[in-house]
Amino acid sequence: MRKLNKFVQSGVGQCLLVLVMLCALTTTAWADLESGMEDLQSKILSISTPLAIIFLIIAAWQKALGNSAFFFAALIGTVIMFAAPQIVEFISVSFGG
């Protein structure tokens, strides 16, 4: 018992204990986490859609006035915002995830 207590108090033992607990929690709560993330993603997308439209209108106005850097930054930001799920899926498939 003393050796087990000493092992648990060591850095390696604590790391192993955290890893085991993380694996146990991950398997039981993965479905809840995934549905919660999908719900959060849809809420963020519904909020950001009108904001992105307004932002692109302002960026186009800036482009008309000659500030093209603001326009390209807004365009790249909008593409990243709305294509983020597809970009993440593409990267994970590309690297075998």
> pLDDT tens digits, residue range 67-78?
888 888 888 888
pTM of the model: 0.48
Q: Which amino acid is at 4?
A: L
Residue 75 contacts residue 59 (beta carbons within 8 Å) = yes
Q: Which residue has the tokens 């692109």?
A: 56
* Two tokens, residue 76: 């790249």
Cβ partners under 8 Å of residue 41, min gap 6: 85
- Spell out the domain ranges in the chain: 2-94
Q: Which amino acid is at 58?
A: I
Residues of the chain with pLDDT under 70: 1, 3-9, 13, 15, 23-33, 97
* Two tokens, residue 48: 């950001």
